[in-house]
Amino acid sequence: MAEYAGLGLFLLLGSGLVALFLVLTSVLGPKLRFAEKQEPFECGEHPIVSPYQRFNVKFYMVAVSFIIFDVEMVFLYPWAVVFKGLAWYGFVGMLIFLSVLTIGLAYEWMKGGLDWN
């Protein structure tokens, strides 16, 4: 059980700190209540229309770039686990892999895929 003591302490400290902040803000913070504040908040926009509407197609480029570069990172995890055993071979191999990804990113950047307008 002794080895879990640290974990228990961590949990205790973490939840205690959160509770402390919550209590402090509710006690110390200024309070102004009016109708608009009670409305659901969505990025500063008034939720006056149905949430089921079309997104701007510009989000598509962001989303797809995210998917590609995010999912490729899946290879980094097993690589990192056995990195010691692979040594230089693993390092150079991953460097090649990442440079291919970087070329892809550079292409997208220069092509204007990252520009919002």
Partner 1 sequence: MMPNLDLSAISPMIFVAVGAILLPLLEVLLARMIERRRSWLGRTVNREMASTAIVIFTVLLLVLALLRTVGTFDLPVAHFNLDHPMIAVDQLTRFLNAVLLISAILTVLVSSRYLADIGMDHGEFYALLLASLLGMMLLGAATDLIMLFLALELMSIPIYALAGFQRSSLKSNESALKYFIIGSFASALLLYGCALLYGATGTVELAEIARGFDPENPLTLLGAALVLVGFAFKIASVPFHQWAPDVYEGAPTTVTGFMATAVKVAAFGALIRVVAVGLQPGAEIMYGVFWWLAVLSMTVGNVMAIIQQNTKRMLAYSSVAHGGYMLVGICVGTQSGYAGLLFYLLVYTFMTIGAFTVLAILTRDGREVSRIDDLAGLHETHPFAAIVMTLCMFSLAGIPPLAGFWGKWYLLTGAVERATAIGDTSLIVLAVVLVMNSAISLAYYLRLPVVMYMREARGADRPDATAGALQTTVLWVCALAIVLIGVVPGDFLILFGDYDLIASARVAASAVSP
Partner 2 sequence: MGIWDYQVVAAILFMIGVLGVLTRRNIIVMFMCIELMLNAANLSLISFSRLWGNLDGQIFVFMVIVVAAVEVAVGLAIMISLVRNRDTVNIEDTSLLKW
Binding residues vs partner 2 (CB under 8 A): 57, 60, 64, 67-68, 70-72, 74-75, 78
DSSP reduced 3-state for 72: helix
**63 touches partner 1 by CB under 8 A:** no
Q: Please report, in angstroms and rounded to a whole number, the separation of the first and last CA atoms in the chain.
A: 58
Task: For residue 100, state whether it binds partner 1 (rule: CB under 8 A).
Answer: yes
Coil, strand or helix at 45: strand
- DSSP state string for 14-31: HHHHHHHHHHHHHHHS--
- Does position 57 bind partner 1 by CB under 8 A? no
Q: Count the site residues for partner 1 by CB under 8 A.
A: 11
Name the residue nearer to partner 2 (CB basis): 68 or 106. 68
Amino acid at 30: P
**Residue ranges binding partner 1 (CB under 8 A):** 85-87, 89, 100, 103-104, 106-107, 110-111
